[in-house]
Structure 1
């Protein structure tokens, strides 16, 4: 069977023998009425838990719109015009609006990247700035002690609007919602304090109500009010297929419920080999981002199995602390022990990779050098088909393989029977 996988901005085709193929995890088929910009318009007209945005803001107020950086697939240039239309209808002047890119601990943008994210017209008319963790206002501490340090222009604005896309997050449960604020426009110390809760059992993908990381994130709204959110769910082609708008909790939860219907992928059993693509650019822009797909894949592989991770990683590690932890370790166990002894943001990603390595071997198909990949305790490849063929040789000619073309979005879930497997194709036939 021929299958297409995203790799950077390209598509690569691989062949897997049907006798080996246990399943291809794809989005569930849902009936959709609207998509793209029309769905965004609908969500803005029908906000959840709040008034319409045009009825919330006042003419002379200073407004910040917080949106995602270049490492996220959030289609800001599609969503922003509709948000701005609401603000203009409320008589807000463009000079009173700032667009803030939520960097968290990511690198700063080039001006060309900012223009790409919002489009030429918006870039030329509205001030577009990166968040800066060195220019923040402390607004208190959450119940668990996380400092609420907020980028000054966001903290001092009269109104805050958060944009983002909703997908599974390996320890915050889901992306989106007020995550644009924390960690989006916070200090490294604040992000580190929040993320340190990832070591708890409830901090996992798909968990919301009992997730200590998400609870801490949402509590930030007690210190810095979020007036409106607009979150989108994307399909495998990065098309908007669902938009939710309004209250930062109520609207976000509705979006998460839709995501579960779309991307929770039921499987009859775990496989010997999992072939997982992060989904292509920008989700595989660096290893720091591609790790999320690897973490989702661990739910589909047997103990002692093998994962083939397909991720360009054109920009290398993607984060300096993450790189330091990797380069200074001699064994995966060093990373796990290190994060338990002293949590450090960036090191947490290295430890998460080490946890997967305890369960399965990893072949990495990337643009990284062989020596670099070996330092991450993975086997390096430049050709996907070669990596898959070698995986079959290692696990046996009758091994079972699961393919995850959209590993950054898809969350495998083992079910007791093989019935009702909406997202699994077995041996080329839809189950």
Structure 2
């Protein structure tokens, strides 16, 4: 089998004997549909709550939308949605979570220039560390004190627009994430994300997932009624499905749809897994971790996980790499993370955990010593890495090749 696969903005080639390839997995192909048609259909067949019912008696609406770290086509949704809201007073808040607020150009990109110019006096970005903009909403069963943006108390109703995809510790993005982390305080987000170190916090898992359950409890504390739009995107970031209605109901429906499109059934795990990381996740090691995480599900214990990611932007945040390289023993770093958790440490923990049961081979632009310090063996080409891994695992070893590992999720039949 000879394949040409992505490497940053270029490509790379590999060749593997057919009898060594257990599976070659590509992202699912979606039928291309017009977004306006999908939105209208979702409103005609909404989950638990119709938009007409939601809008009754409401004079003011807060629209909670994603920042630029998510590919949600908010501006296109607003083109269809805003005319349906009539002459109600509208406010907009960018659900940045712990991210930096976008500047004026970013706001125009998110909302669309026309919407931004028409409503710019009522466009706000969430500030997770500014207590002036926060209000206590209650406490979850896990002891997380929920502080939310005060804007939620200043309107009659809330509409959130989000996109749903598998997430390595929350189960899925979307839905309740508009509120936690979207418009929560930094301390609330930190507490929630600390649950990512617990066993149930896994990819595509909602039930028994402490991160998800804490998020859902937080969303239930939002003081005003919520109408939700949850979009599912394909590999090209085109909208493949829209699910509208009650927050929990539309989110769960979107998750079910996502499972049918983003996952593939795995008969048996492989000795070697080769995962290709596409833009934008291939820009640095920090983002690449999101792709490594699902790939490990296809790997046997003691196997070799090869990831191909240009990482032309480096390793990512300095504190992330400093933590990852703070000891020559991954178990020691994992213990330190458990004892002194800070926001973001869970990402390092997930990568380090793999190093305790598998070998990681890396094909990147990073210098060899940078990778070696974080328990990865560097290779200059994907072909070299594959040949070495198969030779090391023996003549009977098989390889699974995953083209876009971010949206191609292995699920073990057993």
Counterpart of 1:342 (choices 321, 337, 340) is: 340
Tell me, in whole angstroms, the C-alpha distance in 2 between the residues paired with 1:53 and 1:2. Answer: 54
Deviations 1:402-430 (A, max 9, x none): 112221222212225xxxxxxxxxxxxxx
Offset, 1:226:
5.2
Residues 130-145 of structure 1 mapped to structure 2, 5 A cutoff: 130-135=125-130, 136-145=134-143
Q: 1:354 aligns with which of 334, 348, 352?
A: 352
Deviation at 1:124, TM superposition (A): 3.3
Shift of residue 281 of structure 1? 2.5
d(CA) in 2 for partners of 1:79, 1:11: 34
Secondary structure, counterpart of 2:148 in structure 1? strand
2:160 alignment partner, one of 159, 162, 165: 162
Q: 1:241 to 1:400 in 2, by over 3 A?
A: same
Residue of structure 2 equivalent to 1:97: 91
Q: What does residue 108 of structure 2 align with?
A: 115
Q: Which residue is equivalent to 2:237?
A: 238
Partner of 1:193: 191
Residue in structure 2 matched with residue 23 of structure 1 by the alignment: 23
Q: Cα offset for 1:11?
A: 5.0
- 1:3 deviates by 3.5
- Structure 2 residue aligned with 1:203: 201
Post-superposition offset of 1:267: 1.5
Deviation track 1:255-277 (CA, whole Å, cap 9, x = no partner) reads 11111111221122111111113
The 5-angstrom pairing of residues 303-342 of structure 1 reads 303-319=301-317, 321-342=319-340
- In structure 1, C-alpha distance between the alignment counterparts of 2:369 and 2:105, rounded to whole Å: 32
Structure 1 position 380 matched with structure 2 position 378: yes
Equivalent residue for 1:73? 71
Shift of 1:147: 1.7
2:296 alignment partner in structure 1: 298
Whole-angstrom CA distance in 2 between matches of 1:209 and 1:22:
31
Structure with the bigger RCO (C-alpha within 8 Å, sep 6+) is 1
Match of 1:106 in 2: 99
The 1:216–1:232 alpha-carbon spacing in structure 2 relative to 1, beyond 3 Å, is: same
Pair 1:392–1:157, CA change in 2 (3 A): farther
Relative to 1, partners in 2 of residues 1:67 and 1:315: Cα closer, same or farther, differing over 3 Å? farther
**Greater shift after overlay, 116-125 or 4-13?**
4-13
Residues 319 and 346, structure 1, Cα contact 8 Å, conserved in 2 = no
Q: C-alpha separation between the residues in 1 aligned to 2:381 and 2:104?
A: 34
**Alpha-carbon distance, 1:315 to partner:** 4.1
Residue matched to 2:118: 125
| Unmatched tracts of structure 2, length 5 or more | none
SS across alignment from 1:244: strand
What do residues 315-364 of structure 1 show as CA deviations (whole Å, max 9, x unaligned)?
A: 44444543442243333222211122233221111111011111221122
3-state DSSP of counterpart to 1:251: helix
Structure 1 pair 20/124, CA: closer, same or farther in 2 (3 Å)?
farther
Q: How far has the Cα of 1:190 moved from its partner?
A: 0.9
Q: In the alignment, what sits opposite 1:175? A: 173
CA distance 1:399–1:123, shift in 2 (3 Å): farther
Distance 1:257 1:126 in 2: 35
Task: Tell me how many residue pairs correspond in the alignment.
Answer: 408
Q: Gaps spanning 5+ residues in structure 1: where?
A: 417-431
What CA distance in whole angstroms lies between the structure 1 residues aligned with 2:333 and 2:99? Answer: 21
Q: Matched residue of 2:247: which SS?
A: coil
TM-score (norm 2): 0.88
1:237-265, Cα deviation, whole Å (9 max, x unpaired)? 22211110111111111111111111221
CA contact (8 A) 2:304 2:389 kept: yes
Distance change (3 Å), C-alpha of 1:29 and 1:315? closer
CA–CA separation in structure 1 for the residues paired with 2:93 and 2:108: 12
Q: Distance in 2 between matches of 1:259 and 1:42?
A: 18
Query: Aligned partners of 1:368, 1:158: CA distance in 2, in Å?
Result: 51
Q: Give distance in 1, aligned partners of 2:100 and 2:41.
A: 34
The question of whether the paired residues in 1 share the 8 Å contact of 2:43 and 2:50 is answered with: no
Q: 1:130 to 1:310 in 2, by over 3 A?
A: farther
Moved more, 240-249 or 312-321: 312-321
Does the CA contact (< 8 Å) of 2:59 and 2:156 recur in 1?
no
